[in-house]
Structure 1
Amino acid sequence: MHGVMGKPPGAATDSNSFATSKVMLLMLVLMTGVAPISLYMLVPALPVLATTFGRDISVAQMTVSLYMVGIACSQLVMGPLSDKFGRRPVLLCGLGLMVAASAGCIFAETLPQLIAARFLQALGGATGMVVSRAIIRDLYSRDRISSMISLVIAVMMIAQMLSPLTGGLLETAFGWRAIFYLITAASLTVTVFIAFALPETRRDRSEAGGFRGDVGSLVKSRAFIGYVLCQVLASQIIFTFAGGGPYIVVTQMGRTSAEYGAWFATTGFAYLIGNLFCVRFAPRHSLEKLIWFGLALQLGGSLLNLVWSITGYNQAPSFLFGTQMIVMVANAFVMSNSAAGAISVRPDAAGTASGAMGFLQQGIGALVSQFGAYLGGHSTSTLPLTAAIFAISILCASTMIFIVPRRTVVVSEELIEQAEEEESGML
């Protein structure tokens, strides 16, 4: 694989065939997507769950909300564990937990049992989300990480966008338990595939390694703090818009929920396109340049949406979502490249860095989505929501301006290794 770094035991190198690269990409996509796809697949069946168990829809919603809590908690724990014990064993244990919990969902007799099983399902499944970023850092150079993250996200999003449709069709044809039959079979297949095909990619730990040492060094790093804040704040734009969008389109604009779903899908498509562009441009530009490009486009798009709100044009979905698509394209550049920067500060602590970033993104996102819902549901225009998104865009850009240190000289790790080899040869 192009850009593979180091040579961990069994890992792919430049001499591997292209087929090996496709296998690694497939594994990264599967381990990253198994948790979010399982999340969205159940969403269409929530009304049926409430009716089946005779509970309020808000209780049934906990199968989704606590699932998101499980994703956040899992990343905080599994990342450091993968640094200590290795990517492969932690990943297999996590996916094994997901398989067992998914089977538990099938046989759940009460809604609390189903909610508990879903929480465990998220704890196990989210292991793939945090470990996949660490594996990418293990294998690829700093300036190749963002393109690989974007490529994995782009491929995964295609399946993720189809997961609600799949869940709805399964529930309609066979009942809600059929969804968990499919999730159990799919997670078991992924676990077996990874058990046979994935090598250990973790690098040797330094003597100062350890959870406390990793956290201490990361917290003291301005670069890590800046990149993480940039990535987390960029993701909050998505959560804010997703929280307030339904109320604006359905309540304020008087459109149907189906129409909102169609419009919201355009933002997901724009995010997909942004990741594909990032894959194309990342090998030729530094991640700092790509972050700055994304921040400029993100700030410009959010400012334009704010102007539409002030002038009254945003009372039509075409203006609101059309401009938000620009923001989402930019968002893809900012998120993937700032994530690459964060997990590159301490390569041997990539799991801890990835876990902390994922925990903050999901944890803060749960609160921010509620804030977005409040802005959308307690106002008569789009102005409060678009103003909040513009403010978050300014904060996001500020992290790169005031926190992340300037990189005056960018030297790839491959060139350093090559120089050392040449020097030893001359001696």
Structure 2
Amino acid sequence: MHGVMGKPPGAATDNNGVAASRIMLLLLVAMTGVAPISLYMLVPALPLLASTFGRDISVAQMTVSLYMVGIACSQIIMGPLSDRFGRRPVLLAGLGLMVLASAACIFAETLPQLIAARFLQALGGATGMVVSRAIIRDLYSRERIGSMISLVIAVMMIAQMLSPLTGGLLETAFGWRSIFYVITAASLIIAVAIALTLPETRRVRAGGGNFRGDVGYLVTSRPFIGYMLCQVLASQIIFTFAGGGPYIVVTQMGRSSAEYGAWFAATGFAYLIGNLFCVRFAPRHSLEKLIWFGLALQLTGAFLNLVWGVAGLNMMPSWLFGTQMLVMFANAFVMSNSAAGAISVRPEAAGTASGAMGFLQMGIGSLFSQFGAWLGGHFASPMPLNAAIVILSIACASTMIFLVPRRDVVVSEELIEQAEEEESGMM
């Protein structure tokens, strides 16, 4: 199995290897984070955009909503392309599109122009999100993939949590167009860094391989479907709670939006800590064990929130969000390791698998976010939202129980690795 930067495990133990590993980590974080960070940087400027262009705030909101559509579309397109043409050219093409679209945002004269440019910006920038997972699968053994995904997410989340503040400061000091100057410069720097330092990591197929064959294999693979659905359903817990949370805290509990923001940030911090714990424990445990640990903890937290609701305690933010923090901590274990399992079922099609997973996550996420908002805004208690999260948690566990034959997956992975080692020995 490949180690860091194409070297076998243990070869990157000297100073040069450590430096190369750190550079790779920085590149993975940068390419993964550029699209979501760019998404949240603009959020504080939405009211100003509406007044500047003389349009309703709902129209200005399309610079965010259509951006998310662009992220979803990008992943289903760019993932398979990276399997066909390689990680480097697809990454550079995507980031090149993001640079051009970001520059177009700077010079947009109307809100529809800005919305269209934002869609293209997301289409190019999200390339890094899907290809980074494929690169991690290219470079690391199956049992290390979950920890690497968690590490990338943990580092990226720190920057992502600061991005609305950064966008707000830029807009206040220099105007909303300054946000796009920064995004354009950052995208260009990342593209240059990838061009200069990132090697091609895609696996060379002895038999060629094609997109139709990859898709045919994946859609008929129970382990892939199981891991992918587990990851996608786990992510819907986040979208559903995020959609309903503001209505519950502000409308039902009568608290301020600032208080909601503080509590929601606490759940994000719990997710960050969960990823850091995953990084620590992943090298010593199989990804299946980590997924089941996360599922058990996730179910426990979800059921506790339902119990608090029955007892009438969930009308206090400390009870609702305190238990949700446990759910989010566990969610980190489920999402990272189920993603690792999904892209490991057919390693040579890691880009296609990653793209399908990312597309479903974002596409279904937009629906569940609206569903969560409906649950929070049309009921007088958090109970319906709590029940929805319990159902999603049960659905996550069901995919692992009924679709992922754990022994077969392990055996198939061992056979894949043995075949790779034999192939590399013959070359």
Q: TM-score scaled to structure 1, two decimals?
A: 0.95
Looking at structure 2, the residues matched to 35 and 6 of structure 1 have their Cα atoms a distance apart, in angstroms, of 25
Query: Which AA in structure 2 matches 1:178?
Result: S
Query: Would the aligned equivalents of 2:105 and 2:114 in 1 still touch at CA under 8 Å?
Result: yes
Query: 1:11, 1:96 → 2: CA distance?
Result: 33
Between the aligned partners of 1:72 and 1:194, the Cα distance in structure 2 is 23
Per-residue deviation, residues 329-356 of structure 1 (Å, max 9, x unmatched) = 0000000000000000000000000000
Does structure 1 conserve the Cα–Cα contact (< 8 Å) formed by 2:4 and 2:12? no
Task: State whether residues 72 and 363 of structure 2, in contact with CA within 8 Å, keep that contact through their aligned partners in structure 1.
Answer: yes
Going from structure 1 to structure 2, the CA distance change for 1:310 and 1:203 (only over 3 Å counts) comes to same
Tell me the amino acid that sits aligned with residue 129 of structure 1: M
Q: CA RMSD in A?
A: 2.1
Q: Residues 415, 388 of structure 1: CA spacing in aligned structure 2 closer, same or farther, 3 A cutoff?
A: closer
Query: Which amino acid letter does the alignment assign opposite residue 166 of structure 2?
Result: T
Task: Please state how far the C-alpha of 1:205 moved relative to its aligned partner.
Answer: 2.3
Asked if the contact 1:151/1:279 (under 8 Å) is kept, the reply is yes
CA distance in 1 between partners of 2:78 and 2:63 (Å): 22
Letter in 2 for 1:161: M
- Paired position in structure 2 for 1:321: 321
CA distance in 1, matches of 2:128, 2:237: 24
Question: Displacement of 1:12 after TM fit?
Answer: 10
Residue deviations 1:51-96, cap 9 Å, x none?
A: 1111011000000000000000000000000000000000000000
What is the aligned partner in structure 1 of residue 225 from structure 2? 225
What do residues 383-413 of structure 1 show as CA deviations (whole Å, max 9, x unaligned)? Answer: 0000000000000100000111122656757
Give the superposition deviation at 1:229.
0.3
Question: 1:211 and 2:218 equivalent?
Answer: no
What is the correspondence of 1:368-383 to structure 2 with a 5 Å cutoff? 368-383=368-383
How many residue pairs align between the two structures?
421
Give distance in 2, aligned partners of 1:121 and 1:290: 35
Is 1:14 equivalent to 2:12 in the alignment? yes
Q: Give the 3 Å change call, closer, same or farther, for CA 138–415 of structure 1 in structure 2.
A: closer
The 5 A counterparts of 1:192-341 are: 192-207=192-207, 209-341=209-341
2:105 and 2:355 map into 1 onto residues whose CA distance is 26
Letter in 1 for 2:344: S
| Alpha-carbon separation, structure 1, partners of 2:212 and 2:4 | 25
SS state at 1:17 partner: helix
Give unmatched runs, 5+ long, in structure 2. none
Report the equivalent of 2:184. 184
Off by >6 Å, runs of 4+ in structure 1: 9-12
SS in 2 for 1:109: coil
Q: Distance in 1 between matches of 2:54 and 2:4?
A: 56
Distance 1:371 1:9, change over 3 A: same
Give the letter for the 1:103 counterpart.
Answer: A
1:406-425 paired onto structure 2 within 5 Å: 406-407=406-407, 416=418
Residue aligning to 2:107: 107
Residue equivalent to 1:25? 25
The structural deviation recorded for 1:5 is 4.0
- After the TM superposition, which residues 334-373 of structure 1 pair with which residues of structure 2 at under 5 Å, given as runs? 334-373=334-373
Q: Deviation of residue 209 (structure 1)? A: 1.2
Q: Which residue identity lines up with residue 32 of structure 2 in the other structure?
A: T
TM-score of the superposed pair, with normalisation by structure 2: 0.95
Q: What SS class does the counterpart of residue 406 from structure 2 fall into?
A: coil
Q: Are the aligned partners of 2:3 and 2:10 in contact in 1 as well (CA < 8 Å)?
A: no
Counterpart check, 1:160 vs 2:160: yes
Check conservation: 2:47, 2:57, Cα contact below 8 A: yes
The superposition leaves residues 169-222 of structure 1 with CA deviations (integer Å, 9 ceiling, x where unpaired) of 111111111111111111111111111010000011242511111000001100
Take 1:41 and 1:346, find their aligned partners in 2: how far apart are those partners?
A: 36
**How big is each residue's C-alpha offset from its partner over 1:267-287, in whole Å with a ceiling of 9 and x where there is no partner?**
110000000000000000000
Corresponding residue for 1:148? 148
Q: Kindly tell me: are residues 418 and 49 of structure 1, through their superposed partners in 2, closer, same or farther at Cα, counting changes over 3 Å?
A: closer
Distance 1:223 1:380, change over 3 A: same
**1:364–1:418 CA distance, 2 compared to 1 (3 A):** closer
Tell me the CA shift for residue 258 of structure 1: 1.0
Aligned residues of 1:10 and 1:200 also touching (Cα < 8 A)? no
Letter in 1 for 2:12: D
Moved more, 305-314 or 274-283: 305-314
Output the amino acid matched with 2:297.
Answer: L
Which residue identity lines up with residue 266 of structure 2 in the other structure? Answer: T
Q: Is the 8 A contact 1:141 1:414 kept in 2?
A: no
- Sequence identity percentage: 79
